[in-house]
Amino acid sequence: MNLFIQLLLNGVVAGSVYALVAVGFALIFGATSHFHIAHAAVFSGAGYLAVIATQNLGLPGGVAAAVGLILAVLLGVALVRFLYTPLGRRGGQGFVLFLVSLGALVVVDNLFTINLGARPAQLSLGGWFHRAIPMGSWSMTVGQVALVAITVVAFTALLLVLTKTRAGKLITAYSGNPEFVEIVGRRPQRVLVLVYAAGSLFAALAGLYVAADTGMQPGLGETFFIISIMAVFIGGIGSVTGAFIAAMALGVLQNVLLMRIDAEWTLPVIFVLFLVLITVSPAGLSGLKLTSRRRPA
């Protein structure tokens, strides 16, 4: 029982990372229908940029983390402002934007690898980050508790913004009809930038935690992105709440499976379960609910 509880806690931590990436992507994809795979570059970029700020500029860990967070958000904004929008004006849509996003991911990842090498780039935030907090027979580090708290607060704040503020209502309006935003006197481009900035903020928070915890390394952004994408599809396309719940569930499942199978098999098992679910219900869990409601008594 003690092992199960500890794995459950570890799963909540892993799920928090997945949730941050998934919610950010769900927000962007729900509003634009653009498969923004460079979201993974924003994730890894936050960690790498923070490490560069400490190594090259000599900034303290906390300040470097703030710098990495801001620059990663600006990276997400720059992608939509200088790549996606100009291409969209020239008729580039769908697969073209996906290829451009993929190219941006490859370029950004390689630039960081050239600068920092292939070894894990560790962001040092001080001894407090890895200090254990005893919880009876279980424990979590201060950094893990902070991550879970930040994830819950950030997600709750996003829901409040989307449902209670004018900016959130504009994002919702943009998702259904971008032209309507212009009709009510707002520039769609500004709403689009806001969407990418908010989505990038979530991915950047996750990337900073990973860089401080285990270190950022090449390909890590893509790994977390793939798992988070599964959460987005399971939770229902465009649903930030569904993405959050599914991501937390995947994190818990991945860790609880360690009671029965070796660590290298947990991800393949999750992939198989994902494929089965999507085959049965391409709309994810929301599709299952819809099907059950339509089923005659």
The burial class, CB within 10 Å (0-12 / 13-18 / 19+), for 48 is: buried
d(C-alpha 106, C-alpha 41), whole Å:
8
For residue 133, list its beta bridge partners.
140
The burial class, CB within 10 Å (0-12 / 13-18 / 19+), for 226 is: middle
For position 178, what pLDDT does the model report? 59
Quickly count: other Cβ atoms within 10 Å of residue 91's Cβ: 7
For position 169, what pLDDT does the model report? 77
For position 124, what pLDDT does the model report? 94
Q: What pLDDT tens digit does each residue of the chain (297 aa) get?
A: 688 999 999 999 999 999 999 999 999 998 888 899 999 999 999 999 999 999 999 999 999 999 999 999 999 999 999 999 898 888 778 889 999 999 999 999 999 998 888 889 999 998 899 999 988 888 999 999 999 999 999 999 999 999 998 878 777 766 656 555 554 445 677 888 899 999 999 999 999 999 999 999 998 999 999 999 999 999 988 789 999 999 999 999 999 999 999 989 999 999 999 999 888 887 777 655 544 444 333
- For tokens 């919610």, the residue is 23
For residue 139, list its beta bridge partners.
134
pTM, to two decimals: 0.92
For position 179, what pLDDT does the model report? 57
- For tokens 């300040």, the residue is 63
For position 240, what pLDDT does the model report? 93
Phi, psi dihedrals of residue 41, rounded to the nearest 5°: -70, -35
Three-class secondary structure of residue 9 per DSSP: helix
Segments in the chain forming alpha helices (H): 2-32, 39-55, 61-79, 85-89, 95-116, 142-164, 166-176, 178-183, 188-213, 220-235, 240-256, 263-280, 285-294
Quickly count: other Cβ atoms within 10 Å of residue 39's Cβ: 29
CB distance 25 to 232 below 8 Å:
yes
Q: In terms of Cα–Cα distance, which of 18, 290, 296, 76 is closest to 201? A: 76
- The DSSP line for 154-211 is HHHHHHHHHHHSHHHHHHHHHHH-HHHHHHTT--HHHHHHHHHHHHHHHHHHHHHHHH
d(C-alpha 146, C-alpha 128), whole Å:
11
CB distance 17 to 226 below 8 Å:
no
Three-class secondary structure of residue 140 per DSSP: strand
Dihedral (CA of 84, 45, 35, 150) sign: negative
DSSP state of 134: E
